[in-house]
Structure 1
Amino acid sequence: MRLVVDLTSMARWLGPPVGLVRVQRHYTAAAFKAAEVAFTVFDPIERVLRQVSPQMAAEIIAGDISCDMSFYPDPARIKMRFYDRWPNWARRLLMAIIKPRRVLITEIGAFGRRNPGSPFLGFLKRIENRLMKENERRQVAREDGSRTRIVPLQTVAGDKYNLSPGDHLLLMNSDWVHTDVAVISREARSAGAKLIVLLNDIIPIQFPEWYKPHDVKRFTDYVKLAIRLADRFILTSRRVTTDVEEYAAKLGIHLPELRLVPLGCDSARKSKADGRLPDGLETDRYILFVSTIEPRKNHSLLMDVWRRLVLDGTVARSGMKLAFVGRSGWMVDEVLAKLHGHPDYGSSLVHLDNVDDATLSLLYRNSAFCVYPSFYEGYGLPPVEALAFGKALIASTGGAIAEVVGSSGLCLDPFDVEGWENAMRGWIISPAARAPYEAKAAEFVARSWEQAGRETLEATLAPFADEARPPRE
């Protein structure tokens, strides 16, 4: 059997990886160890899977390159623009007229990859720097001082990939927005291949109020199709498994085969994070919350609690700060306005965006303790990472968080403002109050990404009843 891993979501990513992208990168890195493996990206123009060379796949995983897909039609055809149905040559000509800045950036990136030793690269990089906006320059900047190259799709994609009998195609996470599962499934079935979907959760369906209506519709359509078309789901927690089973029963749809494979975690305590903390933060004098800023993550609860702790003098007496680490997401304008301008917080509430892995490790290692008040999670990587660093943790009981954290952290109702206030005040005032949870975290054993990746690929390649099983040794 041959493993086929689709890289579309990773190929489109730019900037430090968030949780879902980290999962994809670790699992794709594990895929290189498979006896037979191929990589693909979805071409939204021809609506086919295209081959990606192993060398190109390695560059995508490492974050060396990123595809600018803004020139291409919506893969799922939910949000169509008037020119998306134009011939490819006409659309490219229009892009050169209405988006010349982005076209030039991608062409410079493509030239740099094809000609790494060119004497013109220095000149072109200066032009690229002038063309980019400030947020784009931050996103392409990497830990070692180099830059991610932004390239067009044709730099990454090769010839059409023809699925074959025995192929097991793995789609991961963000494919609901970056591919067309109906087209891919039709190709798989006609070729006698199998389609396996790694599904982190169905939270946009369960709690649509936390998302934009357009994204809820797109995700719901994808899940309904995936349930009908996939041969196997890989799910990351018992909570998600139950959620998917209940949703399918509600729709009266027969589920594909289900496999449960929990996520992994970086070997945090073995990593050496050198360097300085971001300005304004001191060792053991800040509380850390790592998460994209979005409604589901419940930043508002922490901001309410922190305001109370500021007003009663707890923050001033302790010199403690609260650090939010993560990108700004959607539907959070009010939260961001308070975060960056509310007079009660002063400099005690800090937001760090586009944090690289080395800085994130440094922030974990030097924090006083960590918090994670999310309303609902299908797994919850940040609380696991906090425990892997040996940090005392206050987390919510939402979704799978309590399942994943177990007794290693203090789990509270995400709506219990008083409970969070009392717990955080107690841990700030008295380090001895959090000492028992630091001891539990010190004994916490996180699954490695190597183990999680190996088990995920084993679940992907496990034979189906209608496939010939290899003889046992």
Structure 2
Amino acid sequence: MIAIFEPWLKASHRYTSAYLANSQSTGDDLSAFLSKYEIDRSVGVISLAQAPLFRDDEDEAATRKADGAPQSVERVSMPTPQRIRVLQTHPYVLCVGTLEARKNIWKIAQSWQRLANIDGLSLPRLVFAGQPGWMIRDFERMMDATGYLSGWIETVERASDAELDALYKNCLFTIKASYYEGWGLPIGESLAYGKTAVVSQTSSMPEVGGNMVEYCDPNSIDSIVAACRKLIDDPGHRKTLEARISAASLRQWGSVADDLLAALDAHVAETPRSDMQTPVLS
């Protein structure tokens, strides 16, 4: 993957007058990459949103145009799908994202195995929701060999938006212990549903989680276990983080769109037409 992506990125300056990154962390990494190859291009940052999958009717007033006409937005009230209703018979923690190695699902599963062996801990199930990816053989072998940790782990493959909506609404908290993210949409989605999370203290993820989540070192099972146990064992701490979420002004997709348009308008105004090149596709 790197062997394909890096040469493409290195050559992209030939038809790029500026770059936009979706987080400060990603922007810093891109700037370092361009500097390494002495590529002189600006890198702006447009952070993504901390927004739910759907808008509901209560959001209508906030989505009206200046003239009072309603915006065209998706507001959906959907029934809970059957396979999700089954999961809701027991408390659970939700992990959303492609089931692949870089999402750290192996260490997350090992952490749950360790939590399951702690006497007296009222352990929720762990629900992975996402499409199967690559380099997950060890994870699959562990699930097969242990019967999904004797039922403590569940997977919801290729979850629909309606299923994810129900999963977010009814979980205790979420977990995003990836090694690296460009932004971390599931963290923002979790916050939008009022749910705190266990989040890696790396790359862009602290930009999304702020002071509303519990952080962990994704390279340390001990750290992941400690962060999860704190949210499981200490409802008061969980409620404190949820209160911070309720008080926060979470970033919406409308703001992302406004910032993107403003950045594009400013760049076009500053860039002579002669400096703009048409990419050559081959």
TM-score range, shorter chain: 0.7 to 0.9
Count, aligned residues: 251
Counterpart of 1:291 in structure 2 is: 97
1:274 corresponds in structure 2 to 79
Aligned-residue offset at 1:280: 3.9
1:222–1:291 CA distance, 2 compared to 1 (3 A): same
Which residue number corresponds to residue 308 of structure 1? Answer: 114
The Cα of 1:234 is off from its aligned counterpart by 1.2
Aligned residue number for residue 30 of structure 2 = 244
| Pairing partner for 2:239 from 435, 444, 448 | 435
5+ residue gaps, structure 2, are 57-76, 275-282
- Shift in CA distance, 298/409, structure 1 to aligned 2, threshold 3 Å: same
Among 453, 460, 464, the alignment partner of 2:264 is 460
Letter in 2 for 1:286: Y
Alignment-derived partner of residue 234 in structure 1: 20
Q: Which structure: larger Rg? A: 1
Tell me, yes or no, if the aligned pair for 1:287 and 1:369 is still in contact at 8 Å: yes
1:417 aligned residue? 221
Residues 126-145 of structure 1 correspond to what in structure 2 (within 5 A)?
Answer: none
Matched, 1:444 2:229: no
**Alignment map for 1:309-324 (pairs within 5 Å):** 309-313=115-119, 318=122, 320-324=124-128
What residue number does 1:192 align with? Answer: none
Change (3 A) 1:268 1:436: farther
Task: Report the counterpart of residue 188 of structure 1 in structure 2.
Answer: none
CA–CA separation in structure 2 for the residues paired with 1:259 and 1:433: 36
Matched, 1:263 2:48: yes
Contact 1:365–1:389 under 8 Å retained in 2: yes
Give the deviation of 1:235 after TM superposition: 0.9
Contact 1:298 1:373 in 2 (8 A): yes
Q: Distance in 1 between matches of 2:241 and 2:122?
A: 20
Output one character per residue of 1:146-180: Cα deviation in whole Å (capped at 9) or x when no partner: xxxxxxxxxxxxxxxxxxxxxxxxxxxxxxxxxxx
List aligned pairs for 1:26-425, cutoff 5 A. Answer: 215-255=1-41, 257-267=42-52, 270-271=55-56, 272-276=77-81, 278=84, 280-282=86-88, 285-313=91-119, 318=122, 320-343=124-147, 345-425=149-229
Residue type of the partner of 2:272? D
SS at match of 1:376: coil
Q: Is the 8 A contact 1:283 1:368 kept in 2?
A: no
Deviations 1:209-257 (A, max 9, x none): xxxxxx22211121011134311211111111111111112122222x3
* Deviation (angstroms), 1:313: 4.2
- Give the whole-Å Cα distance in 2 for the aligned partners of 1:260 and 1:426: 33
Query: Does the CA contact (< 8 Å) of 2:20 and 2:27 recur in 1?
Result: no
Q: Higher relative contact order at CA 8 Å, sep ≥6: structure 1 or structure 2?
A: 2
Measure, in 2, the Cα distance between the counterparts of 1:274 and 1:348. 25
Counterpart AA for 2:44 = R
1:418-465, CA deviations, whole angstroms, 9 ceiling, x for partnerless residues? 222123223223322311111112223322112212322332343233
- SS of residue paired to 1:254: coil
- Flag the 1:269–1:446 CA change in 2: closer, same or farther, 3 A: farther
Per the normalisation by structure 2, the TM-score is: 0.81
Contact 1:311 1:344 (C-alpha < 8 Å) held by counterparts: no
Partner of 2:243, secondary structure, is helix
CA distance in 1, matches of 2:85, 2:140: 20
Q: CA deviation at 1:269?
A: 8.2
Cα distance change of structure 1 residues 351 and 279 upon mapping to structure 2, 3 Å threshold? same
Distance 2:264 2:155 in 1: 39
CA contact (8 A) 1:289 1:371 kept: yes
Q: Secondary structure at the match of 2:149?
A: coil
Distance 1:386 1:308, change over 3 A: same
Name the CA distance, whole Å, in 1 between partners of 2:216 and 2:233.
Answer: 19
* Preserved CA contact (<8 Å) 1:393 1:437: no
Is 1:284–1:366's contact at 8 Å kept on the other side of the alignment? no
Identity of counterpart residues, as a percentage? 26
Listed one character per residue, the Cα deviations across residues 36-77 of structure 1 (whole Å, up to 9, x for unaligned) are xxxxxxxxxxxxxxxxxxxxxxxxxxxxxxxxxxxxxxxxxx
2:192 and 2:250 in contact (8 A); partners too: yes
Counterpart in the other structure of 1:173: none
Deviations 1:297-324 (A, max 9, x none): 111121111111122345xx63620001
CA change 1:260–1:344 in 2 (3 A) is closer
Q: Which amino acid aligns with 1:235?
A: A
Matches of 1:273 and 1:319, distance apart in 2: 29
Separation in structure 1 between the aligned mates of residue 158 and residue 251 of structure 2, nearest angstrom: 26
Question: SS of the counterpart of 1:407?
Answer: coil
Check 1:269–1:219 CA distance in 2 against 1; reply closer, same or farther (3 A cut).
closer
The TM-score, its normalising length taken from structure 1, stands at 0.50
Q: Work out the CA distance in 1 between the residues paired with 2:133 and 2:116.
A: 26
RMSD of Structure 2 on Structure 1 (CA)? 2.3
Distance 1:269 1:434, change over 3 A: farther
Give ranges in structure 1 of 5+ residues lacking alignment.
1-214, 469-473
